[in-house]
Each structure stands twice: as structure tokens, then as C-alpha cells.
Amino acid sequence: MASRRPSQFERRLSDRRGSGLSSRRVSIDPSRLVPMDRTSHIGGSDDFNVVFIGAGNIMFGCPEGPWNHSFRLEHKLGRRLKVVAIVDPAIERATAVLQKKCDSFVVSAYQDARVYKTFDEFVKNMTPRERPRAVIIGSPPMFRGTTQSGRDVEAQVLKHFPGVAMFIEKPVATGPLEELEQGFQIAKMIQDNKTVCSVGYMLRYLKTVQLMKKVIEENNLTVMTTIARYACAYELIANSNWWDKSKSAGPVIEQGTHFCDLSRYFGGEVDISSVQAHSVEWNENAGHLSKMSIDETKIPPENRIPRATTANWKYENGAVGCFTHVVALQDVNYSCEFEVYADGYLLKLVNPYVQPVLYMRKPGDDHELPYNFPEDDPFFSEISNFIDVIEDIEEDPEGSQILSTYDDAVRTYELTWAIRQASERSRTARLGTVVEEVTEKSE
């Protein structure tokens, strides 16, 4: 018997829950995204138990950027937030962040939390009252996103707490490409279990991005091309793992992933076999960096990261996309731009990390007009939507939605791997040509 296609309502519900039936086209009316300082704590009086996996920067903040999930959860849930556990093998780090919270005015959310080295320890020691309603996963991606013991935290959550929601940071993994299939297996488990699951591609929640979606939807446009440029400021990147491909999988997979994801959000599925790419490597003249804050000589040469990667591809629907990632800027701010073209329209997102502005050109006018949304906080919006979907599953199908499902995020991961592979193939081919030329000259 042929399988039944999901109804529109089921699709909407699934989109909201993030369990993945059809999530790639979902959008939110930008006016529904409320800034954190203007939100009131979500209603209800019952405790909302949360487990944090990873006690690092994404969870508790750092000077490098505005991310800090604990802070957003405190604002969203108010006194209902009860952190029951922080899981991190770096016990001292976890204990220190917990102590800081307990010394602050949000103590009520943290006073009963316990620190565990592993998720397994938490499962073995928790009391029934500590059963989580949500697990927030911000451990490094090299320790998750697979079905292998010790790197399968998603499967462990699904096994021990079926039905409990998960928020998982991007990228879904950074292991070898051969493990990609395991990512799709996890996506299927999440779908089969109808688990609410959101992945941290927070740029999708920018009001500017949602306005772009709205313009495309309302004008019934077909995207012709996406052009993405992500130039990071490398001077302050002091985490040596980031500079080591064997740990981070490289800057396209670890960081440029945000813009590859935006590309897919607008362009649709990529024909992976069409991906082409080139890179500037660390040992090429053009790749010299004078202000690195780590000692790159400690990283084996084969694991050092490219300084620039440029890629292009065909989307399955015939549109084309291109993407450039650059490790060249110094100082603090990144320089990132993302353009979408459709008949008569240019939608250009500028500076999404610092002060997002959308420049829009429409038919009948040569000017690009700016659209600003001051105080927009996509990190709050993604957490806020995640909690709303957990709490309020039946109400208002047009309301809060999860914009990045696990399955969707695995597809972005697949694209970033395809870019890395294509650039490495091009390099190998080019080196082969150079060797041939040198051999010919010396003969």
C-alpha cells in the first residue's frame, strides 16, 4: 500500500515540532519574533526541568560573541526554569559556572543542579522528579552526531527519555565523512519518535531573514541564485581545535555552515554531485596570516585549515548557489553578506552577526532600500520558539515554529563536507598538474 502523504495540518504541526516531515520551507512572520527584553516569562507555574550537556561558551557565554543559551532560557522560563544537571567531563569548569549562577539572582534555577561527568551518570543517579523536559546539547560536535558508543548522546536521550525535547548545537557532527549516514539515522530516530528537536542555526530566526522569506512567499518568487560570503575575523580565534581540521573538520564545516545553511534555506536542496570548490591553503603565499593567536606549528601540516574556500553548486530545482569562506580579517567583527536573487528582486542580508540589515531592491526601483530591526536577538528567538513548541503544541499552527530540524541540519552538514571534499580534490588535481609541469621542464 502506498504511504499516505501528510495533510497540510500534519505538515504544519511537524514543522512546528521540528520533527521533520517537511521543514525546509517554514517561516515565521517577523513581527511575531519578540525581543528578549520585551517578552514576559512564559506562563504556567510548574517547574521546567532542563539538562545542559556541555558547560562551555555556547551554554554560558563568552566575550567572543552574544551566544549564551542559559541566559536566554532564564529569560524565557523565569522562575519555572530548573536546571537539574550540567553534564561535562570538565567537572571544574562545570562546577565553576554553576557556582557563578548560584551566586547570582538566578539562583532558584540552579540551586538543585548537580554536575556529572557523563550523561550516563546523570541517568543512573537522577530521581524521578529530575526527569528533564528538555535537554540542551552544546558539547563539541566531535563528541556527538553518531550512533557510536560515547558519541551518541542524541540516541541516549531518545532511549532514556523518549519524547523529551532536544535542542542541539550546530554543526550536528564533525567526524569523518563516512559517518554522515549515521546523522541521517539519528534524524530518522528523532522523526520516528516524534521528538521536538531544534538545531542551533539561529540565523534563520533573524527578523531580516524572515522578512526575506516573507517577500519571496508573498510575491510567489522562485529563487534564481544565492550568493554567500562569510569572512571571519581570525585574530581572536584562540581555540587551537578550530585551526585543526582533524578536530573541527575545518572552517567551512564548523563555521561557514551557518551560511551554507542559509543558502539551503532559500535555495532548497543542493545537487551534491554538482558541488565544485577551490581553496587557498596555509602554505600558499596568498594564505599567509600575520596575527594568529595560536601556534600553528603544533598542528600537523596536513591538518591545518584553508584560508579561503570558494564553492558553487546547482540546486535540485535548477537554481545556482555560491559560497566563499575567508579567514583573513583581523580585529573583532566578521564581514558576512548573503544575497538572494529572483526575477526583479535582490534581497541582500548584510552583517547578520553585528547589526543585521536587509537591503531590498524590487521591480520598478533601481535603489536598494535598507530594512533594520534593532535589538533583534536570534539566539533568544530560537530558544523562545523551541520552548513554545514544547509547551503549546496544539495552539495556533501559525505560531511559534522550529526552523531547523535535525534532518535539515544533517543536509547542511552534508553540503559543507561536499565543499571541503571538492576543494581538496581540486587541490590534489592542481598539485598533480604542477608536478607534471615541473617534470616536463626538467626533462
Ligand X SMILES: NC(=O)c1ccc[n+]([C@@H]2O[C@H](COP(=O)([O-])OP(=O)(O)OC[C@H]3O[C@@H](n4cnc5c(N)ncnc54)[C@H](O)[C@@H]3O)[C@@H](O)[C@H]2O)c1
Site string for ligand X, 73-102 (x = CB under 6 A): --------------xxxx--x---------
Give kind and range of the element (H or E) at residue 214.
Answer: helix 207-218
* Smallest gap from residue 406 Cβ to ligand X (A): 14
Residue whose C-beta lies closest to ligand X: 56
C-alpha–C-alpha distance, residues 17 and 198, integer Å? 8
**Cis peptide upstream of residue 171 (ω within 30 degrees of 0):** yes
Question: Which range binds ligand X by CB under 6 A, 75-83, 136-144, 220-228, 419-427?
Answer: 136-144
For residue 354, the SS3 value is coil
CB of 155 to ligand X, least distance (A): 13
Query: Among 170, 348, 411, 420, which residue interacts with ligand X (rule: CB under 6 A)?
Result: 170
**Phi and psi, residue 406, nearest 5°:** -65, -45
Tell me how far, at minimum, the Cβ of 250 lies from ligand X, in Å.
13
Which residue, 112, 100, 97, is CA-closest to 54?
A: 97
Q: Which CB sits closer to ligand X, 156 or 309?
A: 156
Residues 251-280 that bind ligand X (CB under 6 A): 254
Nearest distance, CB of residue 199 and ligand X, angstroms:
10
Residue with Cβ nearer ligand X (143 or 338): 143
Of 257, 262, 281, nearest to 212 by C-alpha is 262
- Residue 169 touches ligand X, criterion: CB under 6 A: yes
> In this complex, which beta carbon is closest to ligand X, that of residue 48 or of residue 143?
143
The one-letter amino acid code at 150 reads G
Asked if 18 touches ligand X (CB under 6 A), the answer is no
Which residues 6+ apart lie within 8 Å of 158 measured at CB? 189, 190, 193, 195
**Ordered alpha helix ranges (H), 34-165:** 57-60, 69-77, 91-102, 107-110, 119-125, 153-160
CA dihedral 103, 83, 138, 70 (to 10 degrees): -50
The site string for ligand X over 194-233 (x = CB under 6 A, - otherwise) reads ------x-x-------------------------------
346: enclosing H helix or E strand: strand 345-350
Cα–Cα distance, 126 to 87 (Å, whole number): 12
Q: How far apart are CA 380 and CA 91, in angstroms?
A: 27
| Binding of ligand X by 143 (CB under 6 A) | yes
Question: What 3-state DSSP class applies to 115?
Answer: strand
Decide if residue 321 touches ligand X (CB under 6 A): no
Nearer to ligand X by Cβ, of 54 and 183: the residue is 54
Which residue stretch of 122-130, 138-146, 333-341, 391-399 sits at the interface with ligand X (rule: CB under 6 A)?
138-146
Residues 6 or more apart from 66 whose CB is under 8 A from it?
Answer: 377, 379
Which amino acid, residue 180?
L
Is residue 54 a contact residue for ligand X (CB under 6 A)? yes
The residue range among 19-27, 102-110, 137-145, 308-316 that interacts with ligand X, by the rule CB under 6 A, is: 137-145
Q: Please give the distance of CA 177 from its chain centroid, rounded to a whole number.
A: 18
Is 336 one of the binding residues for ligand X (CB under 6 A)?
no
Segment contacting ligand X (CB under 6 A): 135-143, 207-215, 319-327, 402-410? Answer: 135-143
User: Segment contacting ligand X (CB under 6 A): 23-31, 55-63, 398-406, 433-441?
Assistant: 55-63
| Residue closer to ligand X (CB basis): 138 or 250 | 138
How many whole angstroms separate alpha carbon 282 and alpha carbon 306? Answer: 6
Indicate whether 141 belongs to the interface with ligand X (CB under 6 A).
yes
382 binds ligand X (CB under 6 A): no
DSSP secondary structure code for residue 150 in this structure: T
Q: Which amino acid is at 433?
A: T
What's the min distance (Å) between Cβ of 110 and ligand X?
Answer: 17
Smallest separation (angstroms) from ligand X to the CB of 153: 7
**Do the Cβ atoms of 136 and 382 come closer than 8 Å?**
no
92 vs 192 by CB, closer to ligand X: 92
Pick the piece of the chain touching ligand X (CB under 6 A) from 38-46, 57-65, 322-330, 391-399: 57-65
- Site residues for ligand X per CB under 6 A: 53-58, 65, 67, 87-90, 93, 138-141, 143, 169-170, 200, 202, 254
